[in-house]
Amino acid sequence: MTAVAEALRPPSRTLLFLEGRALQELGAFMMLRPWLAAAPRGDGHPVLVLPGLLASDLSTRPLRSFLKGQGYAAHGWKQGRNLGLRAGIEDAMLARVEELHERYGNRRISLVGWSLGGIYARQIAKMVPDKVRSVISLGSPFAGSPKATNAWRVYEFASGQSVEDSDHKMAGALASPPPVPTTSVFSRTDGICAWQTCINEESEQVENIEVYGSHCGLGHHPAAVYAVADRLAQPEGNWKKFDRSGWKSLVFPDWRRD
């Protein structure tokens, strides 16, 4: 980890307070859902959606409902509330991937993870890349210091483990992307995680997509939901990076800007 990454601080109290925007973003999602249906449609492949810290499948229901309507076989993780990497969770997630892989005729599964769920998704893909088609994380702090968030104390309380130990659990260092097409959707006004911790080092099949919004609303933020649908619709074996030209440049800023 570089000195710059180590020095990152959690988002300001102002941004943390502004996380209340998540309710407005849910309202916007519900209002715009008929128009979001114009997003690229799927090919029926299975999608496993993993919730964030302290959240359950209830939090990802709006996203999963939308994805089902777009032609995907979207599923929750069925592990109750996400209380961190407790004993048995890794095996349970791998078993869930195996179950869905077999149920859908050995089709590869796309993994979508919100916050901590996105970290799980990246690590699972490293462990069973032959069963994973793509990975999309939403506001997941996989790079930089694990204390560059406003949730690290909550994680330690919920899991009973130190966040300092989490970087080498499951499949190794979190910042390394899995060997499958990988997308990080993030917001610079995230009030939970320092946005710099959500940035991939881009390569041929690794990318970043920025949206304007909160952390707690990323799972139902209209722009984030559109980005997820667009990424999942990429043909297997012919994945291309997100195209933000035209009207999309107004909704998805250039994340490389100063």
* 24-34: pLDDT as tens digits: 999 999 999 99
Strand (E) or helix (H) holding 27: helix 21-36
Instruction: Please report the pLDDT score of residue 5 as a whole number.
Output: 52
Name the stretches of the chain with pLDDT < 70.
1-7, 165-172
Instruction: Please report the pLDDT score of residue 178 as a whole number.
Output: 97
Instruction: Please report the pLDDT score of residue 101 as a whole number.
Output: 98
Instruction: Please report the pLDDT score of residue 3 as a whole number.
Output: 45
DSSP letter (8 states) at residue 255: T
Instruction: Please report the pLDDT score of residue 4 as a whole number.
Output: 47
Residue-wise pLDDT for 129-172, tens only, equals 999 999 999 999 999 888 999 999 999 999 998 887 654 455 55
Instruction: Please report the pLDDT score of residue 168 as a whole number.
Output: 46
For 140-173, b/e burial (b = at least 16 CB within 10 A) is bbbbbbbbbbbbbeebbebbeeebeebbeebbee
